[in-house]
């Protein structure tokens, strides 16, 4: 299969390394200098240092070169760049089936990726879908075992693409629940920031386990309210992704939480990370949607108060700990 990977961050580069062993892959970045550097040194020093880019991998800053003759495009830009990328694809006049791996809600509109796709690239519908799941880029680049969910409303499309991408080390499961897969991947980043804060404050493993569990309830409540399926939140794109990012030190959102617990400012944290931490930008959208649907989101509320209202991390956590007692499942 000929695959165009659009977005040369850590995740895009990791997929390019992994898939190049079995497919003809092009990696696109909109920055010509970035493309030249990767092409010359065969490594993405900015985002995935230490992992060589295969010689067979085509690297380009010209979108039409990446898309030309491609059987499939994987869009792995941050959610903030999804609409711009879709418009660029549409302007190229090249029509290609797409999958997106963006996690989050568009900050200005609180829309999920599939809604943006419907607005900007409806000509290929329904030959499109989302892929998500517990997947650190570095481990995918190393070829360590990873499992993802590929969701599309078109089961023939999802099964065909999943079969092509599937391998013993990159297992692909199919689903029809696009909304559930997207919301699980988006909201877990907010809960992960909270888990990082809890660990950074030294609250221990018991507190982290409780927070992840209660966080899963928030993901599920809002996900169901948006139209997702309960089973999805119990799977790879739900609890699986939540557990990985809330406990693994490779998680950027977890690192944000740990540094917030140290008292660092958000601007300093983002400068230090040098990468996008989607939970920071997603938190407000999650809370906004929860309020619109009258769904209680206490962990998200606490994270928003820390990120955007200047509330000290310890004070926000104390508010959570002192909430009224109630039944567990509601």
Q: What is the pLDDT of residues 176-199, one digit of tens each?
A: 999 999 999 999 999 999 999 999
Residues of the chain with CATH 1.10.1040.10: 186-321
* Cβ count within 10 A of residue 189: 28
> What's this model's pTM, rounded to 2 decimal places?
0.95
Q: What is the pLDDT of residues 243-300, one digit of tens each?
A: 999 999 999 999 999 999 999 999 999 999 887 789 999 999 999 999 999 999 999 9
- CATH for 2-176, among 3.40.50.720, 3.20.20.140, 3.40.50.1860, 3.40.50.11900? 3.40.50.720
Give the pLDDT of residue 124.
67
186-321: what CATH class? Answer: mainly alpha
Tell me the C-alpha to C-alpha distance, in Å, between residue 322 and each of 20, 197, 317, 326: 51, 17, 9, 12
Residue 188 designated active-site: yes
**Rounded mean pLDDT, 68-75:** 96
Q: What is the pLDDT of residues 131-157, one digit of tens each?
A: 999 999 999 999 999 999 999 999 999
Residues of the chain with CATH 3.40.50.720: 2-176
**DSSP letter string, 42-80:** SB-TTTSTT-BPPTT-EEES-HHHHHTT-SEEEE-S-GG
Residue from 93, 111, 188, 264 carrying the catalytic annotation: 188
d(CA 135, CA 153): 23
């Amino acid at each position: 299969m000929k695959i165009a990977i659009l977005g040369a961050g850590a995740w895009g580069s990791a997929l390019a390394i992994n898939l190049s062993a079995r497919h003809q892959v092009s990696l696109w970045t909109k920055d010509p200098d970035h493309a030249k550097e990767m092409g010359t040194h065969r490594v993405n020093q900015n985002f995935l240092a230490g992992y060589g880019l295969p010689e067979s991998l085509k690297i380009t800053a010209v979108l039409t070169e990446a898309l030309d003759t491609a059987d499939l495009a994987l869009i792995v830009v941050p959610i903030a760049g999804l609409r711009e990328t879709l418009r660029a694809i549409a302007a190229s006049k090249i029509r290609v089936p797409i999958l997106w791996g963006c996690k989050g809600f568009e900050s200005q509109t609180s829309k999920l990726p599939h809604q943006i796709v419907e607005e900007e690239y409806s000509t290929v519908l329904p030959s499109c879908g989302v892929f998500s799941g517990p997947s650190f880029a570095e481990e995918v680049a190393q070829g360590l075992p990873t499992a993802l969910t590929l969701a599309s409303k078109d089961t023939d499309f999802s099964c065909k693409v999943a079969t092509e991408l599937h391998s013993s080390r990159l297992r692909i499961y199919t689903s029809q629940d696009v909304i559930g897969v997207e919301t699980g991947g988006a909201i877990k980043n907010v809960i992960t920031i909270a888990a990082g804060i809890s660990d950074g404050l030294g609250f221990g493993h018991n507190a982290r386990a409780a927070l992840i569990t209660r966080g899963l309830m928030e993901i599920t409540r809002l996900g169901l309210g948006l139209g997702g399926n309960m089973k999805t939140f119990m799977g790879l794109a739900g609890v699986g992704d939540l557990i990985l990012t809330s406990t693994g030190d490779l998680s950027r959102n977890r690192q944000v939480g740990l540094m917030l617990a140290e008292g660092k400012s958000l601007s300093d944290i983002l400068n230090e990370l040098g990468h996008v931490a989607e939970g920071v930008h997603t938190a407000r959208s999650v809370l906004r949607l929860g309020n619109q649907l009258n769904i209680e989101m206490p962990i998200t509320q606490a994270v928003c108060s820390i990120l955007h209202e200047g509330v000290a991390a310890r004070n926000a956590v104390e508010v959570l700990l002192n909430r009224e007692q109630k039944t567990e499942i509601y």
